[in-house]
Amino acid sequence: MPAFVIFGRFLFAVFFIYVGATQLLSVSETAAVIAAHVAVPEAVAPYATQLEQMTGMTTPTLLAIASGALEVIAGVMIMLNFGVRFFAFVLIAYLAVNTYFFADFWNQAAPEKGRMLLDAMKNVSLIGALCMIIGYGRGVRPGDKAYSGYWTFERRHGVTVTSCSRRCGACGLIPCAASICCGVRSGTSGKHPVPPARWTCSACDSQNTS
């Protein structure tokens, strides 16, 4: 299952990287779209004018570069599994703003309203996927102990499995961690007596024979 999570995160990030790169490679066209949909509020107009004077670019052009760079950077970070939750939150905010200005189906008439509604639903779906990424967080990487069944038990029950050499044949649980083989918790001093002939794994309910 972790392999599917990694692969799915990779495919998900490709969308933002592609869209952001397309915006950066066609800044003038993106700026024209932004200028047609976004009006600079009067409260920030003086600051926008200062930025224009400093950079020699119009506000729509600056927004086009910023949005493209944001999508590329966030997509790459999610793909690399670095700062996943932070960049997912950033993309949720970005998609919410994008939907308000560029998928405002409530202000459109048919047939444009239907197209805008599809764009809005696409953004809502992306936000849903980002919420799942936030819930899952960094997840696991190849080589992490989470790929073994007994570490899952450790995480669930707050014990450290190091002492006993016997493992569940199905999930890899070390029975001493669950005090079902000899009653001695791992990491504690004490003699590990011979376990019973048959025992049930408390993690996966599999029957084992010693």
| Per-residue pLDDT tens listing for the chain (210 residues) | 577 888 888 999 999 999 999 999 999 999 999 999 888 888 888 999 999 999 999 999 999 999 999 999 999 999 998 999 999 999 999 999 999 999 888 888 888 889 889 999 999 999 999 999 998 776 654 444 444 444 444 444 444 444 455 666 666 655 554 444 444 444 444 444 455 566 666 556 667 666
Pairing between strand 198-200 and 207-209?
antiparallel
Question: Closest by alpha carbon to 93, among 119, 123, 65, 122?
Answer: 123
**70-73, long-range: CB within 8 Å, 24+ apart, which pairs?**
70/20, 70/94, 71/16, 71/17, 71/19, 71/20, 71/23, 72/16, 72/17, 72/20, 72/21, 72/24, 73/20
73: number of Cβ within 10 Å: 16
Q: Give the predicted TM-score (pTM) of the model.
A: 0.64
